[in-house]
Amino acid sequence: MGEPSREEYKIQSFDAETQQLLKTALKDPGAVDLEKVANVIVDHSLQDCVFSKEAGRMCYAIIQAESKQAGQSVFRRGLLNRLQQEYQAREQLRARSLQGWVCYVTFICNIFDYLRVNNMPMMALVNPVYDCLFRLAQPDSLNKEEEVGGPSPSTEGCGMDSLAEPSVSSLLTEVDCLVLQLHRVGEQLEKMNGQRMDELFVLIRDGFLLPTGLSSLAQLLLLEIIEFRAAGWKTTPAAHKYYYSEVSD
């Protein structure tokens, strides 16, 4: 037998019955209720930020399998409908659970990153993703760090993940989430709507200059993402050395 796929590894976090449902959806999508599958994945993503970071890969695999098998898009339609429902209730979600809100933003950005129409990002997701990032950049979000849980450095991923990404046992703060998602999809978003990205970075600069309430790490993260975008969505060697040394110190 070959090595399990990354999708199969991620499935291990579900109970046995749900694991079987998802495995079948990946291999024989016509044999299961794909709307139920979409709801299961979204529900789990809202509870588990680690899963929400990679769920887009699983969703993409199911969409491809369904298209190849039946030429249909039941799963994608169900997934987008559920994303829209959660988007419309995003302020209620944030008020109810900051962790759930951060997981949702992570998930929708992950879906935006993976799903394509004619090899282009889905236009239908551009403004919802922007709206979520704008919410993360509001002063009350940037100042809410202590209510969600502080970050602890990790080396997994790319860009500034070693600054912004917590270990599996800790929770993402809103400023962490903002910076991580901009590292992931910022360049794509700017190509789709550059004006909104300019407006978002006005908010981020204003946030960086907040007189009180912003932790030194949050300031460092915001400054890094400002410079990251200014350098063409790349980390320069000098910036890499500076920010990593700041954290290690």
Question: 47-82 as b/e, with b when 16 or more CB fall inside 10 Å?
Answer: ebbbbbbbbbebbbbbbebbeeeeeeebbbebbbeb
- Report whether pLDDT(1) > 70: no
- Report whether pLDDT(35) > 80: yes
Residue 189: inside a domain, yes or no? Answer: yes
Residues 44 and 136 in one domain: no
Q: Which range (69-73, 233-237, 240-244) has the least confidence?
A: 240-244
Residue 181: inside a domain, yes or no? Answer: yes
pLDDT average, residue stretch 164-182: 69
Residue 96: inside a domain, yes or no? Answer: yes
Residue 128: inside a domain, yes or no? Answer: yes
pLDDT classification of 178: cutoffs 50, 70, 90: very high
Bridge-based pairing of strands 120-121 and 116-117 is antiparallel
Residues 113 and 196 in one domain: no
pTM: 0.84
Residue 45: per-residue pLDDT: 95
Residue 57: inside a domain, yes or no? Answer: yes
Residues 139 and 80 in one domain: no
Is residue 152 exposed (0-12), middle (13-18) or buried (19+ Cβ within 10 Å)? exposed
Which pairs count as long-range contacts for 42-46, CB under 8 Å and 24+ apart, including other chains? 42/79, 42/82, 42/83, 42/86, 42/107, 44/13, 44/14, 45/103, 45/104, 45/106, 45/107, 46/86, 46/93, 46/100, 46/103, 46/104, 46/107
CATH number for the domain harbouring residue 227: 1.25.40.180
Residues 69 and 127 in one domain: no
pLDDT classification of 5: cutoffs 50, 70, 90: low
Residues 179 and 218 in one domain: yes
Residue 131: inside a domain, yes or no? Answer: yes
102-138 tens-digit pLDDT? 999 999 999 999 998 888 899 999 999 999 999 999 9
Residues 42 and 112 in one domain: yes
pLDDT average, residue stretch 17-40: 96
Residue 149: per-residue pLDDT: 39
Residues 27 and 112 in one domain: yes
Total domains in the chain come to 2
CA nearest neighbour of 105 among 139, 69, 138, 131: 131
43-98 tens-digit pLDDT? 999 999 889 988 999 999 999 999 999 888 999 999 999 999 999 999 999 999 99
Residues 17 and 102 in one domain: yes
Residue 69: inside a domain, yes or no? Answer: yes
pLDDT classification of 42: cutoffs 50, 70, 90: very high
Residues 75 and 128 in one domain: no
pLDDT average, residue stretch 8-18: 79
Residues 113 and 126 in one domain: no
Residues 108 and 131 in one domain: no
Range of the domain at 139: 120-143+173-248
